[in-house]
């Protein structure tokens, strides 16, 4: 099977910015109070942030690209502490976003499986992620790939709707 994850090079930050903003806004735009989405998109997908992340050896960005154009992206942190497993080598799946029109085609599953394989090849012991606790479809998706509940946390960003701040940490032993 052809790989759909394509490493994002530093010079590709404008393409990453475009797909990042589009995919995030289409999936989670309604999770924000007034003007919160605009501020968040600039914080997470602004030029300075993306250029810094793309130069950081601990951060990996990948386009989800089954054809010529990206339809989503993945962001991983190759070393990220997880409460209770500080002595272990843990990586974090920080973001996995697909355009809504691409959901249900198996692309998210294939992209995440490729990321799991890549993370495993780096002798990492655990891969974890955080997901909004009311996002049952995403929780089931992650469970279908072997992730299990680890602990609760809370999203602490300005202007995010209060009722959506609860998060589950999920973990996969590699």
Structure tokens belonging to residue 166? 């609860």
Per-residue model confidence as pLDDT tens digits over 52-98: 999 999 999 999 999 999 999 999 999 999 988 877 899 999 999 99
Tell me what pLDDT residue 21 has.
97
Domain count, the chain: 1
Tell me what pLDDT residue 85 has.
85
Give the pLDDT band of residue 99 (cuts 50, 70, 90).
Answer: very high
Q: Which long-range contacts (CB under 8 A, 24 or more apart) does 20-27 make?
A: 20/44, 20/45, 20/50, 20/73, 20/95, 20/97, 21/45, 22/99, 23/72, 23/73, 23/97, 23/98, 23/99, 24/97, 26/99, 26/100, 27/97, 27/98, 27/100
Q: How far is CA 107 from the centre of its chain?
A: 14
Structure tokens belonging to residue 112? 């995440």
CATH number at residue 133: 3.40.630.30
7: three-class secondary structure by DSSP: strand
Q: For residue 97, what are the domain limits?
A: 5-173
What percentage of the chain exceeds 90 in pLDDT? Answer: 91
Tell me what pLDDT residue 5 has.
97
Q: What is the mean pLDDT of residues 107-128?
A: 96
List Cβ neighbours of 13 (8 Å cut-off, separation of 6 or more).
47, 50, 51, 54
Strands (E), the chain: 5-7, 59-64, 72-77, 90-98, 126-132, 148-154, 166-173
Regarding predicted confidence, which is higher, 85 or 150? 150
Tell me what pLDDT residue 88 has.
84
């Amino acid at each position: 099977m052809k790989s759909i994850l394509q490493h994002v090079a530093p010079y590709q930050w404008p393409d990453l910015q475009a797909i990042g903003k589009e995919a995030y806004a289409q999936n989670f735009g309604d999770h924000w109070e007034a003007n919160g989405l605009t501020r968040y998109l600039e914080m997470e997908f602004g030029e300075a942030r993306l250029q810094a992340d793309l130069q950081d050896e601990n951060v990996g960005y990948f386009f989800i690209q089954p054809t010529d154009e990206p339809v989503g992206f993945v962001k991983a942190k190759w070393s990220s502490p997880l409460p209770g497993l500080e002595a272990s080598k843990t990586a974090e799946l920080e973001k996995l976003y697909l355009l809504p029109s691409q959901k249900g085609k198996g692309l998210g599953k294939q992209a995440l499986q490729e990321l799991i394989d890549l993370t495993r090849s780096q002798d990492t012991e655990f891969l974890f992620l955080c997901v909004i606790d009311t996002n049952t479809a995403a929780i089931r998706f992650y469970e279908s790939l072997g992730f299990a509940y680890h602990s609760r946390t809370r999203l602490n960003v300005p202007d995010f709707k209060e009722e959506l701040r609860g998060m589950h940490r999920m973990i996969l032993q590699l």
